[in-house]
Structure 1
């Protein structure tokens, strides 16, 4: 039960309820990651304890941001193997969660996870963030956007901020070195209708891992021309 204790401690530290049912879902999720990872490239992290710490606990730490606990409709951009969206859904069963990824094999995996874990009100989306953001069903339709994608913050902001309602929050899960990236992104964030609220430092229980959560609030509508067409966002980042 060492993994139960790890997850329980991390949950307690962020004021989250944790029980046997949630634990069982995490363990089943871990097993599915390990099984599918042999045929689909989901993660380089495959050891039990590493998955618990570096994927599950890291993901649930987004709830360190108190504002997210009140949000109802989330989208996880570039979700990959389901991080942070699936752990967030396990911890907050009442929320509505959208999982977007450009690789169909990962979406097939996520559909299996949703089915096997019995998760309700989860929607998987196969495609590019730039395309879905133009769709009125999704544009400025979310209380919160989360992303642990590898893109720098300037690019990631153009992918993510258009999905937010005015007053909503974009939380980017980032590594320890964020200062330069944040400085470079501030103009783009402003153009897209956002404002950097704060940076929250995150410690992962049972490890020396240190991460940052960049918290951006949507303060005005995103101009209709953003995000730009597929490819443009990464080739020519906003400055």
Structure 2
């Protein structure tokens, strides 16, 4: 998917990018590839692959969950090189974005990137996900929507992400082919954490057989204060 195909594919989903926004995506690509030479950000570096598997894939959330086109507060847990939150921010500038990542090198890259792209209302936080929205945190249950992409399985992700979503807010998980299997395994954990499945949408990226699942979980009640557990425990002892 080249930049022109990227723009055309988005138009089919009522996402129209200005020349300025397209230039921001082009700059994003250049900065990603340049920084990736000395900081491990992504294994995907070809322009067509980045536009399809990072930029377009990140924006599929707005196809399934159109509230992302509104002026919401969005928290991206374990954003890595900024996916999905920064492509969403470029396409929908009204979003107020908070990015959380445990690796300072990635946060430094994102700080430079946000400055180069001229993005406002983006907050970058260096923290472990387990500590970001724990019972003592000011960030707990503060966000309209929490996103995560390619971070961990859904059971673990739910424990890391749902505590940050406000009651009445949402957790949006970007998943691949294993999404349905992970969802089945995570149902008990989602309920314990105050969540309720609202939608599990399947889609295929253009021009291939890359299957994706976008899982939308609504936060219907407050997360018990004991969650998330301390760093490392959610992955070692997943909830049931």
TM-score when normalising by structure 2: 0.95
Question: Any stretches of 5+ residues in structure 1 without a counterpart?
Answer: none
User: Residues of 2 paired with 1:14 and 1:217: CA distance?
Assistant: 23
- Residues 71, 94 of structure 2: 8 Å contact kept: no
RMSD: 1.3
Structure 2: which 5+ residue stretches go unaligned?
Answer: none
Task: State whether residues 14 and 61 of structure 1, in contact with CA within 8 Å, keep that contact through their aligned partners in structure 2.
Answer: no
Which 4+ stretches in 1 moved above 4 angstroms? none
Deviation (angstroms), 1:209: 1.7
Corresponding position of 1:210: 211
What is the TM-score normalised by the length of structure 1?
0.96
Does residue 145 of structure 2 align to residue 140 of structure 1?
no
* DSSP 3-state at the match of 1:217: strand
Q: Please tell me whether the aligned partners of residues 68 and 95 of structure 2 are also in contact (alpha carbons under 8 angstroms).
A: no
Secondary structure (helix, strand or coil) at the match of 2:2 reads: helix
Residues 71 and 225 of structure 1: is their aligned pair in 2 closer, same or farther, counting only changes over 3 Å?
farther
Deviations 1:93-113 (A, max 9, x none): 111101111000000000011
Closer/same/farther in 2, CA of residues 132 and 150 from structure 1, 3 Å limit: closer
1:30 positional shift: 0.3
Partner of 1:25 in structure 2? 24
Q: Deviations over 1:192-212 (max 9, x none)?
A: 000011111122223332211
Report the equivalent of 1:35: 34
User: What does 1:122-141 correspond to in 2, within 5 Å?
Assistant: 122-134=122-134, 135-141=136-142
Mapping of residues 60-99 of structure 1, within 5 Å: 60-64=59-63, 65-70=65-70, 72-99=72-99
Alpha-carbon distance between aligned partners in 1 of 2:8 and 2:170, rounded to the nearest angstrom? 26
